[in-house]
Every structure is written in C-alpha cells, then in structure tokens.
Amino acid sequence: MRRFFRIFSLSLTLLLALLLAAFLWVQHQLRQLPVTHLDYQISNWGLRELQLEHLSFDYLLDESPLRVELKQLTLCWHWRNWRPQLNQLSIQQLALRLNQLPATAEPSDKTVMQLPDEWLWPGWLPTQNRIDQLLLDLPCGEQRCHYHGSLKLDSADQLSANLQLAPQHQPDKQLELQLGYQLQQQWPDIRLQLHVTDLLQLQLLSSLQAAQADAIQAHWQGDMTLTLQPPPAWLLAELSQWQVTLPEAWLQQFQQDVTANSQWQFAVPIHLSPQPWQQLTGSMQLQLSSPSPLYLPELGLITAELQASAEFQQGQLAPFRLAAGGKLSELQLPGALTELGFQAEPLYWSLSSQHSEALSLSELPLQFLVASADRKQQLRAEFQLDLPEQQAIVEQLHLQLAQNEIKSGDWQLSQFQLNSSLSGVLSANSIELVSLKPLQLQAVVQNPALELSLAQMTMELDELELSSSDTENQAASSQQRFSGKASLSAKQLLHPALKPLDWQWQGRLQASSSQSWQFTAKGELTASSGLEFQTDLQAVPDTLSLSWQLADVFLLAGNTLATTLADWPELLTLQRGRIKHQGELIAPLSGESYQLSSSTELLDLAGFYDTTLFRGLSSQLQLSADAELLQLGITRLTLQQFEQGVVGGPLQLAAEYRAQWDAPASGKLELHNNELILFNGRIKLPPMVLDLAQQEWLLPLHIHQLDLQQLLTQHPTSDLTGQGLINGQIPLIISARGVEVASGRLQAEEPGGRLSYRSPQAKGMAASNPGMKTIVAALDDFHYSVLSSDVSYSTDGHLTLALRLEGRNPAMEGGRPVHLNITLEENIPALITSLQLTNQLNEVIQKRVRERLQRPRQP
C-alpha cells in the first residue's frame, strides 16, 4: 500500500509538472504573438479535452486592434504515440470587432515560384471544426455594420468547408461559400461554389494530376462558370451603409444576367520559372456575355460580348482568336472636360485578334477601337502585348475628336477638331509616346470679353514626345515629360487694336513634372503684315513669365507697325529709320500683382505728322506697370529738324509720367531740361511737374538769343529785314480750350540791331500821308537800341504783338532819336498755312493743307 501511494504521488507530481510546463510554454508562445488584454476562464480540462467558458484578447492588426471574443470553446484530442492529435474544435460564438479597416498591403515580388511538394492539409488541423455563431462588427463609413453567420470545416476523408454570412438585420440574405478539397494520388481536386442571394453564383472546378510521383510536370484542367444578376434591393441598402452608391442609370438598364464561363487544360511544370508563361502548354477558352451594361467606377456603363480561344506550346500561341465588343454609355468625363463643354456621347468598342501562325507572348498583336456612331469621335490602336515584360508596344494610336462647341470662361471654341497619330510603349509604371504624324487641332475662336475672334485657328504639333514614369509606384518619384515642335496659325484675327491679319507662331514646347512642374514655349510670332517677334514663355508652379523681342523694323522697307496696328495714327507717316522693342511680363500665379516692363528705341526716324515734317528723331522709351501703377519714361528724345512753315531743331526732351491704373490720364508728368533750337536761338522749358488731373497747365518758355534775321528770313514777306538777338519769356497755357499766351514779353539784347522796311505799298501810302512818310523814312534803315514787345495769343490762333521801338535812322534829320509804338496782329494758323504753300513741302502735306483751306468754316 505504501508502495502504491509512492507511485501515485510520483505520477501526480510528474503530471502536475507536465501541466505546469505546458502552461508556461503556452504563456511564452502567447507573449510572442501581437496579443494584448488576454483574458480566459477554464471551465473543464483533462487529458483529452479542454473547455473554456470564454476567451478574449486584442490582436494587433496593422496597428489597429482586432477584438476577438470566444464563448464556450471546446477542444478535444486523442493521444497517439504519446503525442496529442486534435480531432474536434467547437466554438459556440466567435465575435470579431475591428475598429479600423487595415491598409491594403503592397504585393510582394516573388522571382521564383514552385508548386508545393505536398498537397496535404495541415496535420494539426482538427478533423471537425464548427463555429455555431460567427459575429462580425466592422466600421463602415461613420457607423458600424454587423454580420452573423456560421462555419463548418471537416477534414476526415476530404476537406469540406461551408461558410454562411448575412447582414444581422436581414438573415435570409446571405453569402454562402462551399469548398471541397480532396487528394487523388496526392494531387488536389478542388470544387468551389459561391452563392450570394439574388446576385451571384460562381462554380469552380480544378484538378491537378501527375502521371507519377517524380514527374517534372502536372496536368491542370478546370472549368469556371459565373452568373451575375441585377443588384437586389437588400444589397443596395447594404452598400449605402458602406457609402457606396451605384448609378441609378445603370440600375435601370441592368435587366439581364451577365454570364461568363471558361475551360482550360495545361501542362504545368513542377518547378516554375520566374516567367511561368514561357512554359505554358495547353489550351483555354473564355466566353463572356453582358447584354445589360456593367458599371465601371469612374468610367461609366459597359456592355460586352467576348469570345477567346488559344492554344499554347511552350509559351508560343497557335492558333489564337479574340473577338470582343460592346457599348460604352453614361460616360463620366473628367471635370476639366465637362467644364469645357465636352459631351459624353455613347461609344462603341471592339478588341480583336486572330492568328493561325505561331506567336510569342511577347508579341501578341491586338486591334482596339472606340468610336461614336458617326465616327467623329474615335480612338484606334494597333499594338503588340508583351506579357513577359507586362507592357504594350503601340504601333499606331490614332485619336480623332470633334466637338461643336467648347467653352472655358470667356473663351469659346466652335467647330473643334483634333487628330493625332502616336506610337510608343505603355506599361503599368511608364508611358513613352512619339508622334507618327503632326497632331492637328482646328477651331473657330471667340472671346467677347477681349473683343477677339479668329476665323480659323490651326495648331500642329510635330516631333511630339510624351513620357511618364512612376518609380516603385510612388507618386513622389513620378516624372512626366513633354516636348514637341509647334505651329499655331490664326486666320483673320480680329481685334479692335489690330487690323484683320493672319498670324502664325512657330517654336518648341517643353514641359516636365517631378517634384514640381515647369513649362516653356520658345518661338517666333509673325503677322502677314511682316511684323515679327521672338517670344519666350516660362511657367512654373508660382510664376508665369512672358518675354518678347520685336525684330528690328526698318522703315525704309515699309512700316509694318502701321499695317498691323488699327490705332496707328492716320496722320503719322514714317519714311526712314529703325525701331527696336522688347518687353517682359511676370505674373505670379499666387494672385500677387503682375509686373510689366518694356523698352522701345527709335533710331533716326524721318517722316511727317499731319502737316509737319521731321528728321532725325531718336528716343529711348521705358514702360513699367503693375496692377496699380503705370510709369512711362522718356530717358532721352532728340529731333534734329522739323518743318511746319518754319524750320526748327534740334529738339531735346526728357520726361517721366506716373499714373494709377484706375485714372491713367490723371497722373503726373515730370519734365527735365527740355530745349528747342529755333531761329538760331534757344527755347527752354525748366524742370517742372505737371499734374494732368488739373484743368490747365502753365509752361513758362524761356527764349534766349533768338536771331531776328533768321526769323524774318523765314517770314513770307520780303519787305522787312533786320538783325539782332531777342530774349524773353512766353507763359504758355494749355487747357481744354486750346493753347494761349497772356502777358508774354520779348526784348532785344543790347546794344540793339537794325530793321529795314522797304515796301512799295508803304511808299504809296507815305506819298499822301505826311505822318506815314516820316515812319516809312525812319524804318528804311532803323538802328534800334530798344526793341520790346508784349505778347498775347488766343485759343483761336490770333497773335498780338505790342512793339516798342527806340532808335534812329542815320540818314534822317541827322539821326535824331525816334520812338515808335506799333501793334502787330497775325493769325498764326493762316500764317503757317501760307508758309507751307510757299515752301516746297511733301505732296501729301500740300494736299492736306489745300483740303483744309477748301473746308467750310465752322460757325
């Protein structure tokens, strides 16, 4: 008895030690798992069974905990060679709660694939597994979605599984999955059936067999059948909880079932290469029928009929047949296209290929066509599909678009047509395309806000190159490039500032995008008038800049500015000289103020304005502006000579004008030391600032050493001659009334000069008038010491000179002093007209003068 007690005590001790060791081992294994908040309650345990009242824990799944709760778990096993063998797992309730859906994992690249050496299911799997109640609590949008079901898995003779799952509030609408898996001579046969109430039925049969255990290849055959019905109401309600809404237009048109079936037979190598399709030998058939349209997210509705058959021999196709086609409707165009006015017309598509000769999977020829019913919109492609490299070699990609009207803001394009023909290589991560023919775009363009219209705009892009690459599917490392030779022509461009002309721009376009994008367009802009510009457009994410340079205008060959600009002054004619111009516009895309600057250089210009001839006009003009301020500077202006009845020059002028854009004509004009040489004297205007917002402006002209002899020489009468230098001040007043002078003053320089007035008419008057005889005798050779005059000039052109003369005639009465007060009146416009008719001037000027003389006077 004592011996039995010792043996029993030792056995019990060993058993407790084993149980303690097992418990500690389980605890250690649990600590290795991403499991927290573990809690369980054992209700019964023994040598062949373990029962848990409950078991709960949090399993960390992609940093989002999955809450697992089990109730009434029973695990049974039997002992075989002192090792436990699981034979039954029973769970009354399994509840899974996920707080956040896990992120989609990136698929790992496997360069080597191999069929399993054994197809047996895991030996540790219990032969009977049952979950009576399966509860799922998942996040769907801003709420929770609940599902319940059951799972049975038996692996006695063959593996069979049955999963049922349904929304908690609709238990009769369920998903049922049945799986049968058995081994035939150690190779698997699989039967899979998937059924979703009133929606989907899928049946898959697959069999893999080998002739002997050490075979180098196995025979794989299979059959798949799919039937898809129109979505039932319960599914639409369930999808709405997941914030998925199917288009109503599609649901109304989806009336017939979609069916698909496929059969295949292949010899599969046991050891697969990195490119297993190169080892394919066998055949397959595929049929798809979708008389009712299917919904493709972000595209629209599609109907499809497809039949394909192929035979493979070590990666070679012979024969191969593919015929597919259907209709695309309710197309969802990108927002940018719909804003432009593009209309989504129904399109018909087809994909075909048929070859009886051997073909490589790297050169699989296909033809693809998408076209509208009238063929005005179409995309036609001929390409070779390279399955090993997962890319398509495009032999020809032809795109044709036609649209009656396109609108973008104030821009309106009508009779829009686009044609392009490209070739290149397409893959999942890159695009490379080049043009086979110039891309052509035609349209009639109008912009009422800018008062701009083009009878026809034509754009051609040649030598076009497009490329896009995405390294490792990371957007941050994606790169896009575009380049091409461009030609843009506009027929009959109409704008109030321009005469109706044809315009053309030729140059190169380049664009690239990586971390940031940039765009450049450099070329030459020409008008049918002969005007030419070199242009350079640069665009980056923050700034748009445009610079231009006018090809030098040589006026001797013709004035292209006058034949281009509608606002060119009609009375201005340039006959000789050169004009240079360049400018730049910088416009920040962030909304900040733009900056405009330009420089214009006039070199030795000659011509006439109205009835004034001029020669040797040279100047440097600087313009700068932004959204608020306008500045115009004349850093230097010189005019060698002008003629308007009298001859004057040179003229030197410098000025600067500043104004706000909201009042461009009310700025301030700053004048700098301007001077005119006239009658060998100088007329100067001192530095001053004129406020153009005022009603009138005073210009104090200073006259220095005006040569009286030159003045009288250019006067139309030859009766009066003289010598002397004249100084004075003329306060010139300019207003809306015209030009006038009040309180002007002229006087001769000391010691004076000479005047000689010898007129036959005056001598006739002196013969009968003693007083007149004395004056005429005195002025015959008058040596003056004082010559002064008050000057006034009215806006109607009437000049009044109140002369005061003091001097003597040496031949008259011993040279006694003579004082004369004479008032002279002259109509300056009439005087200038007389001088212009007398002098040999330009024929155009003479014609203008005569026409003005013939006009009736205004009352």
* pLDDT tens readout for residues 383-394: 888 877 788 899
Which whole number is the average pLDDT over 615-623?
A: 94
Structure token pair of residue 251: 């649901």
| CB neighbours of residue 358 within 10 Å | 11
| Cβ-based burial of 291 (10 A; exposed 0-12, middle 13-18, buried ≥19) | middle
Inter-residue contact 65 to 59 (CB < 8 Å): yes
**Residue 236: is its pLDDT beyond 90?**
no
Inter-residue contact 733 to 740 (CB < 8 Å): yes
Question: Which of 232, 241, 371, 385 is closest to 322 using CA atoms?
Answer: 385
DSSP state of 241: H
Which whole number is the average pLDDT over 144-155?
A: 89
Q: What is the reported pLDDT for 5?
A: 52
The percentage of the chain sitting over the pLDDT mark of 90, rounded to a whole number, equals 35
Q: What is the reported pLDDT for 767?
A: 67
Which whole number is the average pLDDT over 5-12?
A: 54
Q: What is the reported pLDDT for 702?
A: 95
Higher-pLDDT residue of 124 and 654 is 654
Tell me whether strands 725-735 and 532-539 are parallel, antiparallel or unpaired: unpaired
Where does the pLDDT of residue 475 fall: very low under 50, low under 70, confident under 90, or very high at 90 and above?
very low
Q: What is the reported pLDDT for 7?
A: 56
Taking CA atoms, 577 is separated from 571, 729, 758, 843, in Å, by: 18, 35, 45, 20
Which of 45-49, 189-193, 518-522, 584-588 has the least mean pLDDT? 45-49
Q: Is the dihedral of CA 496, 501, 507, 512 positive or negative?
A: positive
**pLDDT tens digit string along 768-823?**
677 677 777 888 888 999 999 999 988 888 888 898 999 998 888 778 888 888 88
Where does the pLDDT of residue 61 fall: very low under 50, low under 70, confident under 90, or very high at 90 and above?
confident
Q: What is the reported pLDDT for 630?
A: 92
**Residue 282: is its pLDDT beyond 80?**
yes
**Residue 21: is its pLDDT beyond 70?**
no
| Alpha-carbon gap, residue 349 to 353, rounded angstroms | 14
Where does the pLDDT of residue 26 fall: very low under 50, low under 70, confident under 90, or very high at 90 and above?
low
Structure token pair of residue 691: 């406020």
Q: What is the reported pLDDT for 406?
A: 84
DSSP state of 103: P
Grouping H, G, I as helix, E, B as strand and the rest as coil, residue 809 is: coil
What's the per-residue H, E or C state across 497-539? CEEEEEEEEEEEEEEEECCCEEEEEEEEEEECCCCEEEEEEEE
Higher-pLDDT residue of 712 and 7 is 712
DSSP notation for 677-688: EETTEEEEE-SE
Please list the alpha-helical segments (H only) found in 104-166.
none
Instruction: For 100-174, list the strands marked E by DSSP.
Output: 113-114, 128-140, 143-154, 159-167
Q: Which residues of 231-269 are buried (b: 16+ CB within 10 A; e: fewer)?
A: beebbeebeeeeeeeebeebeebbeeebebebbbebbbb
Can you tell me which residue has the tokens 């006087």?
747
Where does the pLDDT of residue 16 fall: very low under 50, low under 70, confident under 90, or very high at 90 and above?
low
Q: What is the reported pLDDT for 859?
A: 44
Grouping H, G, I as helix, E, B as strand and the rest as coil, residue 810 is: coil
Taking CA atoms, 168 is separated from 144, 171, 172, 239, 471, in Å, by: 12, 6, 9, 14, 45
Grouping H, G, I as helix, E, B as strand and the rest as coil, residue 105 is: coil
Q: Which helix (H) or strand (E) holds 30?
A: helix 2-32
| Alpha-carbon gap, residue 92 to 89, rounded angstroms | 10
Q: Which residues of 6-32 are buried (b: 16+ CB within 10 A; e: fewer)?
A: eeeeeeeeeeeeeeeeeeeeeeeeeee
Structure token pair of residue 362: 């790297």
Higher-pLDDT residue of 333 and 544 is 544
**Residue 504: is its pLDDT beyond 50?**
yes
| CB neighbours of residue 401 within 10 Å | 16
Q: What is the reported pLDDT for 47?
A: 76
Q: What is the reported pLDDT for 443?
A: 93
Taking CA atoms, 12 is separated from 15, 19, 49, 77, 80, in Å, by: 5, 10, 18, 21, 21
Which of 12-21, 476-485, 554-563, 564-573 has the least mean pLDDT? 12-21
**Residue 658: is its pLDDT beyond 80?**
yes
DSSP state of 119: -
> Which of 165-179, 233-247, 596-610 has the largest mean confidence?
596-610
What is the average pLDDT value for the chain, to the nearest integer? 84
| Alpha-carbon gap, residue 825 to 116, rounded angstroms | 123
Query: Count H helices, E strands: the chain?
Result: 9, 47
Where does the pLDDT of residue 472 fall: very low under 50, low under 70, confident under 90, or very high at 90 and above?
low
| Cβ-based burial of 403 (10 A; exposed 0-12, middle 13-18, buried ≥19) | buried
pTM: 0.71
**pLDDT tens digit string along 734-746?**
988 888 988 899 9
